[in-house]
A and B are shown apart, each in its own frame.
Chain A
Amino acid sequence: MGFQYLRDVATLELDIDKCTLCGMCTKVCVHGVLAVDGNGVRILDKDACMECGACAMNCPAEAVTVRAGVGCSWAIFRDWFRRSGDSGEGDIQCDCS
Chain B
Amino acid sequence: MDEKATWFRGWMETSIGRVARISTHMGLRDTLGGCRVRWGIRRMHYHVPAGLYAVGQPTPESPVLVTANYKLSFDLLRRELSGKDLWLLVLETFGINVWCAAGKGTFGTTELINRVQKVQLDKLVKHRTIILPQLGASGVAAHQVKKATGFRVKYGPIRAHDLPSFLSNGQKASEENRRIHFTIWDRLVLTPMELVGAWKPSLVILLLVFIIGILSGQDFSLQGALSRSVSPALIYLGALLMGSFVTPILLPWIPGRAFSLKGAQIGFLWAFAVSLTLSSTWSLGSMIALFLIAPATAAYFAMNFTGCSTFTSLSGVQKEMRIAVPVIILSIVSGGVALLLGNLL
Contacts and interface: CB of A to CB of B under 8 A. Distances in A.
A86 B304 CA distance: 25
B179 A32 contact: yes
A18 interface: no
Interface in A1-34: 1-7, 9-11, 24, 27-32
B126 interface: no
A2 B256 CA distance: 9
Q: What range describes how many residues of A lie at the interface?
A: 35 or more
Interface in B291-321: 303-304, 306-307, 309-321
Interface residues of B, number: 49
A67 B137 CA distance: 15
15 contacts: A1-B253, A1-B254, A6-B319, A11-B315, A28-B137, A28-B138, A30-B134, A50-B311, A58-B142, A71-B311, A72-B306, A72-B307, A75-B307, A92-B314, A96-B96
Given A27-B155, A32-B179, A60-B143, A73 B313 contact: no
B141 interface: yes
Nearest to B132: A28
Contact of B257 (A5, A11, A54, A70): A5
B9 interface: no
Contacts of A68: 138, 314
Nearest to A27: B155
Contacts of B158: 30
Q: Which of B140, B304, B314 has the most CB of A within 10 A?
A: B314
Contacts of B96: 96-97
A30 B179 contact: yes
A58 B135 CA distance: 12
Interface of B: 43-44, 96, 100, 102-104, 134-135, 137-143, 155, 158, 173, 175, 178-180, 182, 251-258, 303-304, 306-307, 309-321
Contacts of A4: 257, 311
Contact of B317 (A2, A3, A27, A71): A71
Nearest to A69: B314
Contacts of B251: 3
A80 to B, nearest CB: 8
A76 interface: yes
B182 A3 contact: yes
Contacts of B321: 73, 76-77
A96 B309 CA distance: 14
A57 interface: yes
A7 B314 contact: no
A57 to B, nearest CB: 5
A74 B307 contact: yes
A76 B44 CA distance: 22
Nearest to B180: A30
A36 interface: no
A45 to B, nearest CB: 11
A32 B178 contact: yes
A65 interface: no
A10 B315 contact: yes
